[in-house]
Structure 1
């Protein structure tokens, strides 16, 4: 493809998970040499995004700041398309890089396609097989696939999913960049313990108890599912030997239900969302993770922590196959039973904790940057 003397790569992202998984890629692209990297954030998650940018030492070149309270998906999508289109016109990149399954990723790819600019998709090929779970992320990923010409699949399973959709050219199995981010962050914490010292009091308060780390925010779990999760957490927390560490997602569909059904249990720490170093420390502190998040399914196994996934499907089946994760849905009784099994059965816990992590070796970003550079003949 025709490029300028110094090729320009526009990296577009807007949420905390995207920032976590892209900051190692941005660093790797800058280290390659010969590429000008331009970063654009949409601020789809404002506060949570800024936390990661601060830790990673990244200052975006362009900040669209598009987040609005209670913004509908269609309004967000429309504003993203106009805003990112204007950015691409102004920057005139030789390639656009997007990550994952967000509205920002989907629209960033679409805006680039409208201008016939090549797109690289980091974390390509994840599929649950159900367009409503996760919603709308499953469809977002499927939209990006036929647009992109470089597909950085984290696993062979993801590459095979692309092949089933007749996407075979430009597919590279790289590992998941979240493992790169985790290793980098753990190294910083080891050198600078103050980065995660905000959990010192909780670590002391919960000393001697089995810690269950909970994260929940999925749209498909809003309503009855979230209520069932809340009741399950309350029953888990009723055990004297258990403490629940619960960084609360800012979406009111989560907080309002937890306020109503969970209340202020003594051994449930409902705390503000954690920045990335504190979250990595929280994973290290816990006995197991109870989550509906995608990223936690990848991060927890890297630290030997079993993951119970409060969903009926996952676009990360590798963890289930490897034995690091188990799909348990949102039924209250099932949640309680599965958590208690891991707390009370050492063999069951050990089997999941020692299972092979299928998501990478911490070198994914280096591989991605090298492939992008090779495409420019660098």
Structure 2
């Protein structure tokens, strides 16, 4: 290198350094730049392939059709939605019927005379009624009668309306079977088949342990059946005002009637209370030649609730001659629809007790008809109406001597 001109040597050294710096491996910045460049190139290639895939079928189709027009790029269009059918008509609330407006549905309007003139099958009666004679198979119904254990039509108007949603009316009737002073009852729906024959559609509801009487039935404009029921049958000296009434709604579900509205039970009667009777007594001889004796009875009446008893009525205590005590305070007015009490007196508020005293002159020796009888206390309201007790067993005590 000594033979070279110093200026030339300097220039060769600068050239070498410049070449070495250019061929050195890439650094981190260069690597990232290269990777971004490769990604752009790859994306461009994919896009080109996609264009080819889109355009190629167009070109091929044009060739098959001998289409001389040059292909145009595909346009992006919104797909045409398929035609939609009208939404189904919603089933009315509470209506389980799946058929509405059935063509040529038979007319189920049936008169009382028509139903009495044909034989029908009835839904089952409560347990024991069929064994007693209340028939259910091929029954020729009787008009309202006093006969017992005979299936009959109750003395209620028929109801007509579309209860199954077929576009034609059906008939609702109350059928009964008497077993004494009272009757078992059921509300039955009747219809006609395609031949015009009367058929039994089904039972709406019947009397059972939940309620004891059916008073009326009515078809609503919506096709439901509203039934007025009572918790007791006013008979056997039970007054009508003791009965509680409810309206319960039933609807056909395609197979049977189900309750859809109204109460399902009566529960405890809020008008009643629990009276409890206790007694002490004293029996003494009457001074002088009188052979009779004086009986003093002190009754303690406790009202265990839950309601006040405005009045109390004592039954069975008059077994001799009145001789004092609370006899003078007895209300002389007779009670309606009840055995007349021996005495009606102001009552006992809920949670309190009252004492009532009655003095009687009785024979010294009991007569042949004398017996040990019971004394009873009963709750009465301000209208002089008597009411049952929530616990009847503690309303009565026995006479201390035969009377």
* Larger relative contact order, structure 1 or 2 (CA cutoff 8 Å, min sep 6): 1
Larger-gyration structure (1/2): 2
Higher strand proportion: 2
TM-score by length of 1: 0.21
TM-score by length of 2: 0.20
